[in-house]
Structures are given as structure tokens and as C-alpha cells.
Amino acid sequence: MIITAKQGRGDKVHVSVDGEYLLTVDREFWFSQGIASGGEVAPERLEQLKVQAEFRRAYNRALGILSYAPKSRRALLERLIRDGVSPDAAERAADQLEEYGLLNDAEYAALYAEELLRNKKVSARGAVDKLVSRGISRELARAAVADLPFDEESGIEDLLRGKLSYFSRSPRDRDRAVAALARRGYAYSDIRRVMERLCEEFDSGE
């Protein structure tokens, strides 16, 4: 089989075998393979080239995804596969990123747990559920949340005193406030208790 390489736009190199298009790689990768354009290539070497090229594409794509925002391993794999990367190449790219310390579920869980608990005032239970939905194991999610002590009653109060404060409005609005906090994972009994206390403060003019 005769392999040929043709320069494309930018650093792209289009590779063909026996006159039929095979794949596109970047110039650095192509020259690193030590294959001469116009020369013969064995089927085994050709298969190796394809596997290596797919891994490089997966790795570069993964780096691009992580440059926008950190992700869990599972979320990254799902995104890569959705973008057309083979499962095997996606797994290998994730392994390499973990080895380099660029992909770490424990670190991601800790950062996101802090964002949820301290900034968004989500309940501990709600934070665990959100972490799991982002691809973190439930065990790791619980550990990350447990490492960040959070007073849920204070969290409820902060939300009710802030943008979810409906104390001067109708009972229906108060029910909506309760539902909004429940969606953050807070227990109805805790929400009602804090709301009743704040309503008493409001009625007494404190």
C-alpha cells in the first residue's frame, strides 16, 4: 500500500492510502511518525497510525473541553464520545490526563461542592445529587460535601432573606419560596421552621 500526505490548511495534513483518503492529522504528528509520503506502508503500521492518530485527536479534544471548565472523568468521556471519539481512544485520553494531573475527580468534587454549598447555598443532600449528576461517584460526592461543614439552617435563612424573600407577599408566594428551596435539596420541615421564625420577626418588626 502506498501512503501519501498532502498539506492542508494551517497545520493540517491529509493522509491517503492508494489514492483514497484515510484521515487528517496535524503536521507535528505526521512528521513524528517517520513515514515518507509516497512510500509503502504495511497494514500493521497503517493500523498503528490510525490508532495513534485517534488517540491524539481524543487527547487534544479533551484538552480543549477542559480549557473551558473542569469536568469529571465520566462527563469528559461522555462528551468525547458524543463528539465522535471512539470509546477506546476516549478512555486512553482520560487515563493520560489523569496521569498528568489534568483530570481529577476528587479535586473537581471538592471545588464544585464548595461552589454549591457556600456560593449557591445548595443543601448537603442537593450538593451530593448535583455532583453525582456531573459524573462523580456518590461515595466521592458525599466525602467532598462532608469536608465542607455547612449550616443548612443558616443557608435557608440567607436564601429567604435574599432573593427568595416573600414575607410581605401572599401565602402562595411563600409556598413558591418553600418549593424553590426544596429544589435545592432542603427538607420541607427545616424550610417551614426557619420561615415561621422569620415571619415572626417580620410581624414583630424586628
Q: What is the pLDDT of residues 162-197, one digit of tens each?
A: 656 555 566 777 777 788 888 877 877 778 888 777
Contact 105, 94 (CB under 8 A): no
In this prediction, residues 134-146 reach a mean pLDDT of: 93
What pLDDT is recorded for position 202? 66
Q: Work out the average pLDDT over 85-97.
A: 95
Render pLDDT for 43-71 as a digit per residue (tens, 0 to 9).
889 889 999 999 999 999 999 999 999 99
Residue 42 is predicted with a pLDDT of: 87
Segment of 107-121, 146-160, 162-176 carrying the highest mean pLDDT: 107-121
DSSP calls for 128-146: HHHHHHTT--HHHHHHHHH
pLDDT for 83 equals: 93
Beta strands in the chain (DSSP E): 2-7, 12-17, 20-26, 39-40
Cell numbers 435539596 correspond to 185
Give dist(CA 37, CA 99) in Å, integer: 34
- In the predicted model, what is the mean pLDDT of the chain? 86
- With a pLDDT cut of 70, the percent of the chain lying above it is 92
Comparing 19 with 65, the larger pLDDT belongs to 65
Per the model's pLDDT, the better-predicted residue between 21 and 206 turns out to be 21
Grid cell of 95 as nine digits: 487515563
